[in-house]
Structure 1
Amino acid sequence: MRAVKLLALAAVLAAFTAHAAELQAIPEVLPDANGVTTLTLTVDAARITVPDAVSFTTRSYYYNGAAALMGPTLVLRAGGRLNLTLVNNLVDDSAIDATKAINTFRHSNTTNVHTHGLHVDPAIDSIFRHAAPGGGTLHYDLPIPADHAPGMHWYHSHTHGSSTMHIMGGLVGGMYVEWQTRDAIPTSISSLTKHRMVMQMLNFAAETQDGVVSQSCSAAQAGHNPFKTYSFAELESESGSLLASNPTYSTTDRLLYTINGQYRPTVTVAPGESRLFQMVYAAGSKNPILIFPSGCGVQNIAFDGVYFDGAPRTVTYLQLIVASRVEFVMTCETAGTHTVRVRHNGGINNVQTTGGDPLFYVTATGTAQTPATLPTTLSTITRPSYLTDMRAASTTIDTRNEVSVAQGGSADCKFQLGVGSNCEAAAGGGGGGGGRGPRAQTTCAYNEFAGQRGTTSTTPYEFTMRVGQTSEWRLHGGGNAPHPLHIHINHYQIQSYSGDDATLQHWMQPGDWRDTIPLLNGIITVRFVADAIAGETVMHCHELNHEDKGLMGTFLIQPALASATTTTAAAAAATTTAAGGVAAPPPTTTAAAAATTTAAPPGSATPTTTTAALPTVSPSGSSPATPLSLAATVLVACLFGLLA
């Protein structure tokens, strides 16, 4: 009996030791002396092993000939460029794609790259460009604005129809805009040892509900769960994937959270030593919460790649959503092993801040050190103009917009984005995050994604604005499961929430800057400025199976006019004029703003391939803009402004 107990104890210790392997840093690609970060990523099938957890076949980034569960971390410099070549060596599956409709799981082997969080040109960082399988190539020559804020971001595949599969499968990577002297990062932070972490979620088992396998749409109410997390096998079946994951396991867990491709790794520190953790949750489903050990102090200093404008926040947990980036300083003064835990919270009002499963360990050992003393405020950090505080009542508001989401009932698979001048729910109406159908308002147009519109589309945008304008949006949510809304290119500042403060505090605070937030019950008001960058701009639900199935749209940021009429926030509040729900004035076309022409027409099965570098893009069927044509465009724009 004693021998059996010893064997059991040895097995437990062996399992802990295996899961406690030291955290490995992800390879980083650094900018050269001219500030240019250059690399080639090749996408192909690979057998990936997460030690002591799982081995499976997936679509992977190969960097310098080696595949991993995530790509290398890209270190970028403000004022520099990202010079990225993407090669797609996956097998041609166009015959399968030809049988699939838009807003379904499809394009399993078609890929591209989206730089999530960067304030850059949407005509280059475009989800409508694709590298087709069988050797298709894309080149991204992406300027990083000279005033770009430092912070943690990420990149990932963003082909409509396969985002869910690709991101869970590992077509992701961390991305960091480095600190510069002009950013004035406090020395007590910049001097700390840093750990850049890519947190991923892998699901190998179909979820169940009401005793049956859950379905995002089903004729039977039992098992109906539009927020289900798809397993690899379910995604492969629905998309017709030619690549099967075929997992083999060395753990009983089937839903896994990994850090830098490792399962429950360890970070070794000295007692009292403060470390800076820069983490991205590179996933398209689940809203995990990080629960910190009682023996460690944690101060949160940034979210979604933007440093707070006030004091560092002492926290015992951090509620993440899909695509969240967080930076926090952790200090464990007591010697021993401390466990950072994770659990996923699906609901808005039932956030659980205890329990959970191990995510990673922090082992404090050796000679004690003096903890870092962080500044009482982070307001001394330099911020670009597009991150200027907009909470004052005197803030000039040029345009207004409202956004909501809708999902069908148990037998209706439609996921729709609502945009207009009034998305308020009528009395007794449904919609929003609760998913009871579109709201009963004619001034909020609900549509499934219909493809790229470009800057010369005859189909009017539901919302347009111009470079230099400040816009206020009201974001509507409902139900207990929050849709995470992501807006490309421009971060937005949280202004207010119509619900109770206790609910909001779990997720965000007024004044925070985010690019992805959960649509909580009620209305969240946000503001942002369209700073310098024009073009067709994407917004979508980052619960990626919703995006793949239609919960995505675009709006148009036009070049600035020579003059514009604006109203103050106080005056605009008293008017009934709305920006949404009307056709845009004829858009001016510039090389920077024009959308690419490499996408398939809306509803078609197979995108085309581009091999050209695209620092500027011309409209379909036109020649690159000449100085004369640009001058003519500006003249027309000015005349339009005078006549408007």
Structure 2
Amino acid sequence: MRIGRRRLLALAGAASLGGLGLAMGMRPGLSMGQAVAATDLPARQRLLMPPLLDTTATGRVALTAQSGLTRFAGGAPSTTWGFNQGFLAPTILMRSGGLEATLDNSLDEDVTVHWHGLLVPGEHDGGPHTAIAPGRQLITPMSLDQGPATLWYHSHIHGATARHVYSGLAGVIHYTDGRDDARGLPSTYGVDDLTLLLQDRRFDPEGRMIYNPTYADILNGLLGNRVLVNGQPSPIAGVPPGLVRLRLVNGSNARIYSLHFNDTRPFHLVGTDGGLLPAPIEMTYLPLAPGERAEILVDFSQGPAPVLMSARGLSMTVLRFAIDDTLPVRISRVPDRIGDAIAPLVAPDGIITRQISLDMGGNSSGQVQSPGHQPSGSMDHSGHAGHASHAGHATATGPTGVPIHGQGPAVSGLIFDDFRINGRAYRMDRMDFEIRRGTIERWIVSGGGGVEHPFHIHGVHFQVESSGGGGPPLAQNSGWKDTVLLSGGASSLIMRFDHEATARFPYMFHCHILEHEDAGMMGQFTVT
């Protein structure tokens, strides 16, 4: 489907991240996988890009955590949070060199800014030990030196990370070296280079976004009944009739997306968590777990506009596209090469190998469903869940709708101590590992209870040596990673620790299902 640029811009109208008049539901007679038709456009909105904060000239960025009221689809106002705005946050453009981040907190509780994927010392990483109290300011001078990549940032307060990210304290980072044109990669922000922050959220019948997790939500990770892209439900992305770069960021609390196009068209993976790949990898299906990022190239020059879908038990629409013939086509073919080959890390003699087990002990082993619990309007049906589809071993009997607060997440008076790593729940005053700076280590990481866990390590990028209990790395785990989905056996990761993290400001390693992380599935380590 093609439509003029003026028509699409008129449809965007008064939309903003502070008040979105967007359609949450489907129009009558329109199926989830059907390409958008011209007659449906008046009920939809053009996808908006987050505001862009360009730090490449100034070497400075200022963020303020603040509250807001957001209307989704004209429903009742929702209390939301964001950085520099009422919901979510700007995209920050960064490059290597000095960067001074000024972080202000205007909320009524502690926040942090964790730079997820930035290779910086522990004192600048933004973990739970660097909390910013209400009304206070933190100035963080950083020295950056890494390759171009799509990263993100979010609050990381222990016991409250899930609620903070869900409320909107999250944004995307474009780390650049200014050489994308030479690589043949689309690079015009919001035109042929689209930032797509994918998050599912739960809405009540009045259209309010709610976060009141049940016992089962803690065990499973909370799943929403609507997918938001850049904070918008059911948007349409206008794209030129050529090659477009999609920067995909899974900012959901627990949902794993299984991304593909409804017309099965191929696309090319050109970047993962830690940066660009040496050459594009053609694929038609891309799993993306919470915390992971992927950059893909999609050719929109042929055929009707496709629909980006996710199929994991239940097929659902993620994002619709509309071809805008007035937008310039800068790139028309997929480059053969993008950059230099990535040299594999070589395990030295006597390499330290650590066994890491993500455990769901006691009654919380496996997948749990609360009796009779199904959120209103949910797109998740029996047998379809965000990170697994396994039978549970526990029964959730407590009342629903109890929020999480404080250092020990609790529902119905139960303290969750069943979420552990290597048999121990997280404690802020305990160091799990002490690592020598400059050393290479191998971590053999496995999930527990038959549940898929996205595993994230702060302060390093790693290479996946094997996955699924010894199999070769999956295509989506190519290149440098900082988050990997554990599924079907242990994964072998190899990494070098080049940045310092003291006992006062250690690095974290944890499950990136945020409810699991808050409940204790996290550890920490020093690098000295």
Aligned residue for 1:124, secondary structure, equals helix
- Give the secondary-structure state (helix, strand or coil) at the position aligned to 1:291: strand
Corresponding residue for residue 227 of structure 1: 220
- Compared CA separation, residues 378 and 479, structure 1 to 2 (3 A): farther
Which of 461, 465, 477 is the equivalent residue of 1:491? 461
Deviations 1:150-189 (A, max 9, x none): 11111111111111111111111111212234x8961345
1:639 maps to which residue? Answer: none
Aligned CA distance change for structure 1 residues 255 and 498 (closer, same or farther; 3 Å): closer
Pairing 1:372–2:332 present: yes
Q: Does 1:21 align with 2:84?
A: no
Cα deviation per residue 1:171-225 (whole Å; 9 max; x = unaligned)? Answer: 11111212234x896134557821122222212369xxxxxx99646xxxxxx98
Instruction: Say yes or no: does 1:399 pair with 2:352.
Output: yes
Is 1:79 matched up with 2:34?
Answer: no
**Quick check: 1:341 aligned with 2:309?**
yes
By how many angstroms is 1:365 displaced?
A: 5.0
Q: Distance in 2 between matches of 1:122 and 1:397?
A: 26
Distance 2:198 2:492 in 1: 29
Show the counterpart of 2:164: 166
Is the alpha carbon distance of 1:122 and 1:538 closer, same or farther for their aligned partners in structure 2, counting shifts above 3 Å?
same
Give me the whole-angstrom Cα distance separating, in 1, the residues matched to 2:260 and 2:422.
Answer: 40
Q: Take 2:456 and 2:286, find their aligned partners in 1: how far apart are those partners?
A: 19
Amino acid at match of 2:275: V
Does the 8 Å CA contact 1:150/1:306 hold for their aligned counterparts? yes
| TM-score normalised by L of structure 1 | 0.61
Quote the Cα distance in structure 2 between the aligned partners of 1:32 and 1:332: 31
Instruction: Return the offset for 1:321.
Output: 0.3
Structure 1 counterpart of 2:234, from 241, 264, 289 = 264
Amino acid at match of 1:113: V
CA drift of 1:407 comes to 1.3
Q: Does structure 1 conserve the Cα–Cα contact (< 8 Å) formed by 2:198 and 2:248?
A: yes
Are 1:284 and 2:227 matched, yes or no? no
How far off its partner does 1:498 sit?
5.1
2:317 is the alignment partner of 1:358: yes
1:337 alignment partner, SS class? coil
Equivalent residue number for residue 483 of structure 2: 516
The residue correspondences of 1:35-54 to structure 2 (distance < 5 A) are: 36-44=59-67, 46-51=68-73, 54=75
CA contact (8 A) 1:478 1:519 kept: no
Partner of 1:604: none
- Taking a change above 3 Å as real, the CA distance of residues 557 and 9 of structure 1, as seen in their structure-2 partners, is closer
- Would the alpha carbon gap of residues 339 and 490 (structure 1) be closer, same or farther in structure 2, given more than 3 Å must change? same
Distance of 2:323 and 2:422 partners within structure 1: 55
Counterpart in 1 of 2:124? 124
- How far apart are the structure 2 equivalents of 1:9 and 1:401? 54
Letter in 1 for 2:451: A
- 1:339-388 deviations in Å (ceiling 9; x for gaps): 11124x4xxxxxx6xx722221122354896963333333437xxxxx74
- What are the within-5 Å matches in structure 2 for residues 58-77 of structure 1? 58-61=79-82, 63=84, 66-67=85-86, 69-77=87-95
The 5 A counterparts of 1:116-515 are: 116-125=116-125, 126-133=127-134, 135=135, 137-145=136-144, 147-181=145-179, 186-190=183-187, 193-204=192-203, 216=215, 226-229=219-222, 255-271=225-241, 273-294=242-263, 296-309=265-278, 311-343=279-311, 345=312, 356-364=315-323, 366=325, 372-380=332-340, 388-390=343-345, 392=346, 395=348, 398-410=351-363, 445-453=422-430, 461-497=431-467, 499=469, 501=471, 505=474, 508-509=476-477, 511-515=478-482
CA distance, structure 1, for counterparts of residue 288 and residue 364 of structure 2: 30
Gap change, CA 1:13 and 1:472, over 3 Å in 2: closer
- Cα 1:435–1:357 change in 2 (3 A) is closer
Query: Retained in 1: the 8 A contact 2:468–2:486?
Result: no
Q: Distance in 2 between matches of 1:200 and 1:395?
A: 40
Counterpart AA for 1:177: Y
Equivalent pair of 1:117/1:154 in contact (CA under 8 Å): yes
Structure 1 16/22 Cα, relative in aligned 2: closer, same or farther at 3 Å?
Answer: same
Hey, what does 1:33 align to over in structure 2?
57
The code of the aligned residue for 2:162 comes to T
State the partner residue of 2:520.
Answer: 550
CA distance in 2, matches of 1:85, 1:333: 43
Counterpart mapping for 1:604-643 below 5 A: none
Q: CA deviation at 1:120?
A: 0.6
Q: Offset at 1:497?
A: 2.7
Structure 1 residue 89 and structure 2 residue 110: aligned? no
Structure 1 residue 270 displacement after superposition: 3.9
Match 1:526 to one of 493, 508, 514 = 493
SS of 2:46's partner is coil
Cα contact 2:358–2:422 (8 A) shared by 1: no
TM-aligned CA deviation for residue 304 of structure 1 = 1.1
Structure-2 residue corresponding to 1:240: none
Measure how far apart 1:84 and its partner are. 2.3
Tell me: CA distance 1:160–1:18, structure 2 relative to 1, closer, same or farther (3 Å). farther
In 2, Cα distance between the equivalents of 1:141 and 1:294?
Answer: 46
1:304–1:326 CA contact under 8 A, matched in 2: yes
Please give the alpha-carbon distance, in whole angstroms, between the structure 1 residues aligned to 2:57 and 2:130: 29
Letter in 2 for 1:317: Y
Shift of 1:519: 1.9
The 1:449–1:14 alpha-carbon spacing in structure 2 relative to 1, beyond 3 Å, is same
Residue ranges of structure 1 left out of the alignment (5+ in a row): 1-6, 91-108, 207-212, 218-223, 231-253, 346-351, 382-386, 414-432, 438-443, 454-460, 559-644
The whole-number CA distance in structure 2 between the counterparts of 1:307 and 1:434 is 38
Residue 187 of structure 1 aligns to which amino acid in structure 2?
G
Deviation at 1:83, TM superposition (A): 1.6
Q: Is the 8 A contact 1:266 1:361 kept in 2?
A: yes
Across the aligned residues of Structure 1 and Structure 2, the Cα RMSD in angstroms comes to 3.6
In 2, are the aligned partners of 1:168 and 1:202 still within 8 Å (CA)? yes
Deviation at 1:338, TM superposition (A): 1.7
Aligned partners of 1:19 and 1:264 also within 8 Å: no
Residue 545 of structure 1, CA deviation: 0.8
User: TM-score, normalising length from structure 2?
Assistant: 0.73
Question: Is the partner of 1:283 in helix, strand or coil?
Answer: coil
Contact 1:110 1:131 in 2 (8 A): yes
The answer on whether the counterparts of 2:356 and 2:422 sit within 8 Å (CA) in structure 1 is: no
One-letter code aligned to 2:304:
G
2:468–2:487 contact (8 Å) kept in structure 1 = no
- 8 A Cα contact 2:149 2:275, kept in partner: yes
Q: Which runs of 5+ in 2 are unaligned?
A: 1-26, 31-35, 206-211, 367-389, 395-420
